[in-house]
Amino acid sequence: MRKFSSGNKTAVYGALTVSESAEVHVLEVDETRCSELREASNGRIKAWACDVTDPVAVDAAIQAIFDSGFEPDVLINNAGIIHSEPLVNMLSRGERSHSRESWRHVMSANLDSVFFVTSRVVDRMLAKRTKGIVISISSISANGNPGQSAYSAAKAGVNALTRTWAKELGGMGLRFAAIAPGFIDTPSTRAALSEAAITRLQQQIPLRRLGDLESIYLAARHIIENDYLTGTVLEVDGGLVI
């Protein structure tokens, strides 16, 4: 199984356990993370420094990957940033409205990136008659999470694209699905939430714990292996409902 991924880690490491012969390419904006990925995988992950919000950079990186002889059959859109900000901050003495810059930045990182990368990779899959699979990492915030206007809207957009492309391209043998995690125990979650907040949160999660990376890997594997599955948004959230 060959993989192609934007963003790093979760499903990419998991993908290596699906098949030791997997060829994995990652588009990652952070050069340090690119190096870490190469080192952690003994060079088996090909990490390309690329900002997936920049369509010119995306086109160049993807063309370079194709030119290296790689033909993707799975794309995982994982890159994203989590952002919380109220629509109106009533406690602020200055600007009270949600920043327009952060709105654009969050939409760009979480939604534009999925469109830019998927359109190029699917074009290639169609040209090569590859019956490819696109898995996009969404979030349960797509249901509308108070305090996360941009993030919720972007992830809802990811779900809409997933269903749209499943209908548009199913006849060509391509499948599309999204994984909507709840709260996963990653460094970014730990950085965003205090210990006290995590403890409170765990009380609200029916399974009383954060999810682990393995749960996301298993969801991706299920989507890849079950070839009658498309247009689905798979919630992996320990039962937490937003």
Ligand X SMILES: NC(=O)c1ccc[n+]([C@@H]2O[C@H](COP(=O)([O-])OP(=O)(O)OC[C@H]3O[C@@H](n4cnc5c(N)ncnc54)[C@H](O)[C@@H]3O)[C@@H](O)[C@H]2O)c1
Task: Give whichever of 53 and 232 is closer to ligand X, judged by the CB atom.
Answer: 53
From the candidates 13, 151, 217, 228, which is the catalytic residue? Answer: 151
Contacts of ligand X in 87-106 (CB under 6 A):
none
* Range in contact with ligand X (rule: CB under 6 A) among 11-19, 80-88, 127-135, 198-206: 80-88
The reply on whether position 10 binds ligand X by CB under 6 A is yes
Contacts of ligand X in 187-206 (CB under 6 A):
187-189
Q: How far is the CB of 171 from ligand X (least distance, A)?
A: 28
* Range in contact with ligand X (rule: CB under 6 A) among 3-11, 67-75, 126-134, 220-228: 3-11
The reply on whether position 53 binds ligand X by CB under 6 A is yes
Candidate list 3, 4, 5, 8; residue touching ligand X; CB under 6 A: 8
Task: Report residue 18 as tokens.
Answer: 């699906």
The torsion angles phi and psi of 240, rounded to 5 degrees, stand at -70, 130
Residues with Cβ < 8 Å from 105, sequence gap 6 or more? 81, 83
The reply on whether position 35 binds ligand X by CB under 6 A is no
Residues with Cβ < 8 Å from 26, sequence gap 6 or more? 5, 6, 7, 8, 12, 34, 37, 45, 46, 47, 48
Q: How many residues belong to the site for ligand X (CB under 6 A)?
A: 28
DSSP 68-99: TT---SEEEE-------B-SB-TT-SS--BPP
| Residues annotated catalytic, as ranges | 151
